[in-house]
Structure 1
Amino acid sequence: MTAVRFRDLLASEWLRMWSLRSTPWVYLVTALAAIGFNAGEAYDTYHYWTEKNAGSSAEQYIRDGIPVQHAFTDNASLVFALAVTAIGVVSIAGEYSTGRLRTTFTAVPARRSVMLAKAAVLAGVTAVFGTVVALVSFHLTQAILGLRDVGVPIGHPGALRTVLASALLAPVCALVGMGIGTLLRHAGTSMAGGVLVLLIAPFFFSEDHHWSAVLHHALPMSAWRRLVEIPFTAEIPYPWTATGAWIVYVAWALGAVALSVTVVHRRDQ
């Protein structure tokens, strides 16, 4: 039997992803939702500028980092993260439910290579997708805020980091979704697990005690919030560094891939 090259697996996964008619629509709806939330908050600031900002100067507004915060808001990040996590879940749980994964492993016994190809394609596509959404959101929100002379360029301190952190949130969450989907195999249960990790878990750990603060900071959404808080002014007993937040991103992405590869290698399908 001729060994299957890894690039052939990548091509196969690429075709598999885009063979689903729902794929472009899912990405489009997710993008519109995230960009809409960000633009909506920027428009509220523009529209109600007099009432909200009476007595405050544009310089102070910019100095406080508020225009950069509007580039990717909390509401947008939650919707974005959950939607991309669902994409990651469905990328593997859907194949479990239809039995396609068993067929794939029969044709290509190198299970770890198959899962690595799936992870590579998923990470690549969602990274590009996240970059597009983050850049469009940034430029659109700053254009709206610019009507009140409070928009900032992407070279503004912290702006590029916010765009990058928001863009990379997509592949991190997608890979986490894939890891949970591989472990649990069921789309609904896996999505519930994603909600637990992204939305609920941060509420379990306060930042008042060292052990609890470490666990809180080690979560994906906590890392994103640390990276986009510019300037960093949180007065908490155990603050986290931006470098630590980037490490959290990498750890979750690599950990999710390792989980997926290990699970499929050790158990029957």
Structure 2
Amino acid sequence: MTTAPATTQAYRVTPARVLRSEAHKLRTLRSTWITLGSAAALVLSVGIIMGATYTSDGGDSDVDTVILVLFGSTLGTLCTVVLGILVTAGEYSTGMIRASLAAVPTRLPVLWAKAAVFTVTVFTVMAGAALITFATAQLFLDDTDQATSLTEPAVLGAVLGNAAGTTFLSLIALGLGALIRSVPGAIGAFIGGVMVLPEVLTMLPYDAVETAVRYFPTQAAGVLGSSTPLPDAAPVGGALLALVLWCAATLGSAALLLRRRDA
């Protein structure tokens, strides 16, 4: 029985090596640190402002505490969405994707590795930012009707759910980047299809459309970041399932075209 030469074994493509390669690329890109740093800074700064300026008689007492404190995650999500698009479409614009696919001829492991590394990175950073922001804002809210703690029912889940919602939306953006292969095009598709389209559809006087819009990505992500049930919103389980399906559909379409189109 013959065995492969040691040199062949040393350079054999494995899932672990593809993951390590994508992690190295994400870590060494300047855009990664700029976008993630900006996202975390926006979440923290807006959270501190909301906590420092809040008054019990200001009319916001009925707002969910987690939503109030982590309001800056809306802006932070825009940063991570751009990063998701740069991770995939950015490689097409620079031509680096050709080297990646030449090293991994089966192609699909490259996409799965990008998605996995990106998901872990974004969730870790945004979860850390959300936890720090919540704790810091509560220092200002201690004597108000918005005072609470992570040990209260559903609060910790909502804080982590906020980070999860951001991660899901950013993963959809990554899929759009791989699908469209253009940074401006993918950004436009995300803004138009994910952010603007649901708002337009809510203007239609049809109950079925209103119900369907609840399961669109941005609406479903908002449900995960609330510690109390939102009116006229999808249940948490349904929202989570919807986000998983949106990500699967986007990445699945990108994977299909990756197999069929040239780089």
Deviations 1:174-221 (A, max 9, x none): 211111111111111111111123321221222863321233112121
Structure 1: stretches of 5+ with no match in the other structure: none
Match of 1:168 in 2: 164
Rounded to whole Å, the distance in 2 between the matches of 1:19 and 1:92 is 15
Letter of the structure 2 residue corresponding to residue 131 of structure 1: A
| Match of residue 68, structure 2, among 70, 76, 79 | 70
Confirm whether residue 6 of structure 1 aligns to residue 15 of structure 2: yes
Rounded to whole Å, the distance in 2 between the matches of 1:80 and 1:160 is 19
Q: Is the 8 A contact 2:169 2:221 kept in 1?
A: no
Confirm whether residue 144 of structure 1 aligns to residue 140 of structure 2: yes
Rounded to whole Å, the distance in 2 between the matches of 1:121 and 1:233 is 32
Letter of the structure 2 residue corresponding to residue 218 of structure 1: Y
Rounded to whole Å, the distance in 2 between the matches of 1:118 and 1:230 is 31
Match of 2:151 in 1: 155
Deviation (angstroms), 1:243 = 1.2
Deviation (angstroms), 1:105 = 1.0
Match of 1:198 in 2: 194
Q: Is the 8 A contact 2:42 2:75 kept in 1?
A: yes
With the length of structure 2 as denominator, give the TM-score of the two structures.
Answer: 0.87
Letter of the structure 2 residue corresponding to residue 8 of structure 1: R
With the length of structure 1 as denominator, give the TM-score of the two structures.
Answer: 0.85
Shift in alpha-carbon separation, 1:164–1:188, aligned structure 2, 3 A: same
Letter of the structure 2 residue corresponding to residue 68 of structure 1: V
Count of aligned residue pairs for this structure pair: 253
Letter of the structure 1 residue corresponding to residue 15 of structure 2: F
Deviations 1:208-263 (A, max 9, x none): 633212331121210122233443252x4xx5212111112221222232223222
SS in 2 for 1:146: coil
* Superposition pairs of residues 46-57 of structure 1, within 5 angstroms: 49=55, 52=58
Q: Is the 8 A contact 2:161 2:224 kept in 1?
A: yes
Identity of aligned residues (%): 23
Please state which structure has a larger fraction of its residues in helix.
Answer: 1
Rounded to whole Å, the distance in 1 between the matches of 2:137 and 2:102 is 49
Rounded to whole Å, the distance in 2 between the matches of 1:232 and 1:149 is 18
Shift in alpha-carbon separation, 1:262–1:233, aligned structure 2, 3 A: closer
